[in-house]
Amino acid sequence: MHVAILGAGPAGLFAALELAPHVSVTVMEEGSEPLKRKCPVASHSNCINCSPCQITSGVGGAGALSDGKLNLTYKIGGDPQSLRRTPEEIQELINYIDEVFLKFGADTDSYGVDDTSLEWLKRKASSSNIEFISGKQRHMGTDRTRMIVSHFYEYLKEQGVTFRLQTKVEDIRKRDNEFVLKTTKGNITCDYLLAAPGRAGAYWLRTKANSLGAQSKYGPIDVGVRVEFPAELYTSIEHVMYDAKFHLYTKTYDDFVRTFCTNPHGFVTVEKYESFVLVNGDARKDVKSENTNLALLSRVELTDPVEDTTEYGRSIARLANTIGGGKPILQRYKDLIRGKRSTWSRLSRALISPTLRDVTPGDIAMALPNRIVKNMIEGIERLDAVIEGIASDSTLLYAPEIKFYDTSYVVTRDLETQVPRFFVAGDASGFSRGIIYAGVTGIIAARGIIRKVNTQ
């Protein structure tokens, strides 16, 4: 029995780990092996034609060149209910994934485990009607993450997993009882297919899956800004939880707003897509900046008759890029509040320097929908009670930051689509939003495949 896994991100790697002792496994990956992955352009912000993008493609997936913040709680990065599992069942899988990362060299230090300081932070947040999502975290660090993934990759090869690297799957067809994958290096057939192409491959997969008969649904997207401020403002929180998550509902619209992906002493980065650029952030263990950044995001869900959140998000990104002349927009908080665009001259009066400079100083209010801008301002004002000083004049805002988790599939409890023997996992499936949950879904799908193989 032959199983092909499409994508060597965390979902694909953890699926391969489960499947290897039971069936023959081939992993198809358009990028390179971990130690050969390197963005050729410093800071990634000026790269234009790197295809596939080294940041999001290759063994280890989108997370392999990041700083690898592992959220080790079922409360972050996915939802047990949507996977039809109890929190305890998901936590058990997360603990197992953590053990695997530790075995391959992850730092044994963790955050979010000291009850007294967690209680302090929870109280501080609650007093402003903000929910603090606590949970254990591990921070692998950019360089270490690459090594850990490399050890994982070598181990899988020893277990008999075949990797076809620099091999892009261009089409998926069904022929009798098998799938035929048309790749840049010829056709491959398999009895079972597990598709985990990540966020970058999500829309391509949606088109292919729909044409095979798998039904998909639109999910919400998160739209907002990357907020950058002096690192000292976050120091007391960083000791409690490296990447603390805060959730709130805004006063005006009662919209859900959350912080996400906090990078103490980190850098704001650019994420390139075919027709637009977005902002993101990372933190490195070797190089530190004087700033901390976090994503502040407002949830957008559309209902009948316009449910296409993908197109809505893309339209926002394109508009923001038009205003920014093809680059992200940077604005001082003071300028946003006063209704003025930022200029380099105004930015020079801020107390901090931006860590991303390939940007256009401008006006975020011209680029994002008014409702989102209002949610951002209310969010920052409320967060000021927890991250004291974040609502200061000098705080820097970069836009657009958009998280497209907008496609999910009609699946069984084992993540099998309506096309028999065609399984989905990871961020492209709509059931994960991070390294750990991507791994969880990979394991769930792989165990589903093993069960099905054994009963046939």
Ligand X SMILES: Cc1cc2nc3c(=O)[nH]c(=O)nc-3n(C[C@H](O)[C@H](O)[C@H](O)COP(=O)(O)OP(=O)(O)OC[C@H]3O[C@@H](n4cnc5c(N)ncnc54)[C@H](O)[C@@H]3O)c2cc1C
Measured between alpha carbons, how far is residue 74 from residues 11, 91, 186, 403, 412 in Å?
16, 6, 40, 20, 20
- Tell me: does residue 141 bind ligand X (CB under 6 A): no
Q: What does the alpha-carbon distance between residue 265 and residue 273 come to, in Å, rounded to a whole number?
A: 26
Closest CA to 349 of 360, 334, 359: 334
Q: Which of 85, 138, 199, 245 binds ligand X (CB under 6 A)?
A: 199
Q: In the complex, what is the shortest distance from the CB of residue 425 to ligand X, in angstroms, rounded to a whole number?
A: 7
- Tell me: does residue 219 bind ligand X (CB under 6 A): no
* Cβ-based nearer residue to ligand X, 77 or 354: 77
Q: In the complex, what is the shortest distance from the CB of residue 144 to ligand X, in angstroms, rounded to a whole number?
A: 12
Kindly state the DSSP code that residue 339 receives in the 8-state scheme.
T
Span near ligand X by CB under 6 A; candidates 35-43, 284-292, 375-383, 423-431: 423-431
Using CB under 6 A, which residues numbered 242 to 261 contact ligand X? none
- Tell me: does residue 266 bind ligand X (CB under 6 A): no
- Tell me: does residue 401 bind ligand X (CB under 6 A): no
Span near ligand X by CB under 6 A; candidates 34-42, 118-126, 393-401, 425-433: 425-433
Q: In the complex, what is the shortest distance from the CB of residue 329 to ligand X, in angstroms, rounded to a whole number?
A: 19
- Tell me: does residue 30 bind ligand X (CB under 6 A): yes
Span near ligand X by CB under 6 A; candidates 58-66, 294-302, 318-326, 445-453: 58-66
* Cβ-based nearer residue to ligand X, 183 or 394: 183
- Tell me: does residue 374 bind ligand X (CB under 6 A): no
Measured between alpha carbons, how far is residue 353 from residues 176, 243, 341 in Å?
60, 22, 17
Beta-bridged to residue 137, according to DSSP, are 71, 111
CA atoms within 13 A on the CB side of 28: 28
Q: What does the alpha-carbon distance between residue 404 and residue 402 come to, in Å, rounded to a whole number?
A: 6
Per 3-state DSSP, the chain is made up of helix, strand and coil in percentages (nearest 5) of 30, 25, 45
- Tell me: does residue 12 bind ligand X (CB under 6 A): yes
- Tell me: does residue 324 bind ligand X (CB under 6 A): no
* Cβ-based nearer residue to ligand X, 206 or 327: 206
Using CB under 6 A, which residues numbered 277 to 306 contact ligand X? 280, 282
Is residue 44 helix, strand or coil? coil
- Unique residue bearing structure tokens 């609502």: 391
Q: Which of 194, 214, 438, 445 binds ligand X (CB under 6 A)?
A: 438
Q: Residue 265's Cα: distance from chain center in Å?
A: 20
Residue 98 backbone phi and psi in degrees, to 5: -60, -40
Helix (H) or strand (E) holding 116: helix 115-126
Kindly state the DSSP code that residue 375 receives in the 8-state scheme.
H
> What number of other Cβ atoms are within 10 A of residue 453's Cβ?
16
Looking at residue 257, its amino acid is V
Span near ligand X by CB under 6 A; candidates 6-14, 94-102, 185-193, 332-340: 6-14
- Tell me: does residue 78 bind ligand X (CB under 6 A): no
- Tell me: does residue 28 bind ligand X (CB under 6 A): yes
Which residues contact ligand X by CB under 6 A? 6-12, 28-31, 52, 55-58, 61-63, 66-69, 71, 168-169, 196-201, 204, 271, 280, 282, 426-428, 432-436, 438
